[in-house]
Amino acid sequence: MRVMSILMVVCVLAVGVSWGAGEDVTRPGDPVIGQPDNNRWPAGEAPQYAIDDNVNTKYLHFRDGQVAGIIISPQLGTGQSQPTLVQGITLTTANDAPGRDPHSYELFGSNADVNGPWTLISQGPVVDFIGGWPRFTKNETPIIFDNQTEYLHYRLMFPTLGGDSLFQIAEIELLAPPENGWPAAVMISPAETVVDVADPTVEINIEIDDFDSTSWDVLWTQVSGPAAVDLDDVQDQTTVELTLPAVRGTYVLRALVTDSEGNESNPVETTVRVWDAELDNKMVGYWTFNEGEGTFIDDSADDVNRGYMGNYHNDPDLDPNFVEGWIPADGENNYALHFQDFGYVQVIPDANSVSDPNLQNLDYGVSV
């Protein structure tokens, strides 16, 4: 049970990459057309606000069950549509309602006019927005693709959203390739794992996606851990087998990929927990949800780690609430917790009650 808690809260984001210096070819005032083009948006949240370089405005489309998006005709400040080479996209979340965020995209290009015909350039997930992303925040996981054709007009559509019937976005950027090309997109696996202190060996793999480079240097470093890890023999390798020190605790290792043009990826990290079954196999938290009232959840395990209820709409009426439970052994205090839209329970361990340094400064939570 303790292993699950550790993996939920200690693991480090394992995918990330530098955006390089790709230039946004859109400008405030470039011609845009909402999709569908039916004026189903508030006057102050019209399509032009998606490219106004202001995250405090947004483009909102009511959709009415259709796929929403936008047509953009970059002019590069000339007053006429200009051929542009686009190989990347950035998206910035708007002020509220994560359910309206796009979870996938389709980008098309046309050299005829804004009515097409359209050629599919790229499609795929908006990785960062899936599962929730901070408000007013640009995606970090790159959306980059191998397109070698310049187009006058671009049609960007968002087939799937976060569950809401409305679509919204604060900012859209269409990126031209940097002069020296793009950094590599790197993924690492496993993002987190647990090994036994009796045999603390782990295999780590990185995958490199880089359509404009064919050679890379890989720098492995140790970010943290209770003992030093020998990384001398794994430099420049994409698949490494490491034997960690037989010292229990959490180790964070990092890989940085540099391509032949000197472009660096964002570092990717993996977290490895060296586990001692005799010392670590115990319960660290037990919440029965039997309070029956209030907004706090008490811990019945040895460590007193109290949880509190809330919701991402910041509306007290949408906080989780207690309902009649179904465990007879609980007797009179037989309750369950009912979650509404975007409700959560957050648990911050009591630093005074956590004796194991590997469990300090952690943050537990469940949301529905």
Question: What is the per-residue pLDDT for 279?
Answer: 82
**Residue 149: is its pLDDT beyond 50?**
yes
User: According to the model, what pLDDT value does residue 352 have?
Assistant: 53
User: pLDDT tens for residues 111-142?
Assistant: 999 999 999 999 999 999 998 999 999 998 88
Question: Mean pLDDT over all residues of the chain?
Answer: 87
Q: Are 319 and 312 spatial neighbours (Cβ–Cβ below 8 Å)?
A: no
- The pLDDT of residue 314 is 81
Q: 136-175: b or e for each residue (b if 16 or more CB lie within 10 Å)?
A: eebbbbbbbbebeeebbbbbbbbeebbeeebbbbbbbbbb
Q: What are phi and psi of 189, to 5 degrees?
A: -145, 140
Residues 82 and 171 sit within 8 Å (Cβ to Cβ): no
pLDDT at 342: 79
What pLDDT, on the 0 to 100 scale, is given for residue 360? 47
What are the structural domain ranges in the chain? 23-176, 182-280, 296-367
Residue-wise pLDDT tens digits, 209-244: 999 999 999 999 999 999 999 999 999 999 999 999
Overall fold of domain 182-280: Immunoglobulin-like (2.60.40)
| CATH code of the region 23-176 | 2.60.120.260
The pLDDT of residue 365: 56
* Pure H helices in the chain: 2-10, 277-280
Distances in Å between the Cα of 61 and the Cα atoms of 33, 90, 92 are: 12, 19, 16
